[in-house]
Amino acid sequence: MRINFTEEKAFWLRGLIALGIVAALFTIGGDKEQEGLQGPVAGKGTTENRETVPEYTIPYPEGRTEMNVSSGEPGPKPSKMIADPFAPKKGEMQTWRIKAAYEEPIDSIEMTLQLDSGEYPETLKLAEGTATDGWWEGTWNMPDSTEHRYAAVILLKSGKATTKVKPVFRDITRTIF
């Protein structure tokens, strides 16, 4: 037995199928807030009115952590970063090392930590190698917690050339969707 579809019936059938797919997608998504998948309430650079970190948050690596980094910008080129330890508790010591190279001497590397309650600028010093190819280092007491936000803005300066790198390790203070 063959079913004869007219053009109008085919149009309505396609519409019903599309509607079914959309309904299925909404059903599969569920109510994220009830399931505990909604992130903390976003504040204005503070930890006020924020919930605790959801259980699904991936923990930070422990101890010394090495990362590769790159930039497509003209100017000084970072290639590696080392954090030791990666995510200390507030008040604990932390050391950051950044490997950078450029055809002209690098004048400075500034790193601004973006943490739960604000931003904290630090200046790294040349620790090993030369100003055209070396390791820059900074050590400080961790000024804040990293529970909700942990990012950085790194400025590598050489004469008139400046490279900006913005690694984000965690930021659950903003809405993704």
Would residue 118 count as lying in a domain?
yes
Q: Is 41 part of any domain?
A: no
Greater model confidence, 18 or 119: 119
pLDDT tens-digit series, residues 61-75: 889 999 999 888 889
> How far apart are the C-alpha atoms of 144 and 125, rounded to whole Å?
22
Is 21 contained in some domain?
no
pLDDT for position 46? 43
Looking only at the bridges linking them, the beta strands covering 108-115 and 93-101 are unpaired
pLDDT at 25: 65
**What is the CATH number for 78?**
2.60.40.640
Structural domain includes residue 70:
yes
pTM of the model: 0.66
Looking at residue 147, its pLDDT comes to 87
Confidence bin at 56 (pLDDT 50/70/90): low
Name which residue leads in pLDDT, 69 or 173: 69
Asked whether residue 1 is domain-assigned, the answer is no
Residue 150's domain spans which residues?
A: 65-171
Residue 56 within a domain? no
Domain count, the chain: 1
| 6-26 tens-digit pLDDT | 667 777 777 778 777 776 666
Region at 75 (left for phi over 0; alpha for psi -120 to 50; beta for the rest): left
Tokens coding 82: 């080392």
Percent of the chain, pLDDT > 70? Answer: 71
Of the two residues 42 and 166, the one the predictor is more confident about is 166
Does residue 13 lie within any of the structural domains?
no
| Residue 49 region by backbone torsions, left for phi larger than 0, else alpha for psi between -120 and 50, else beta | left
* Average pLDDT for 96-124: 96
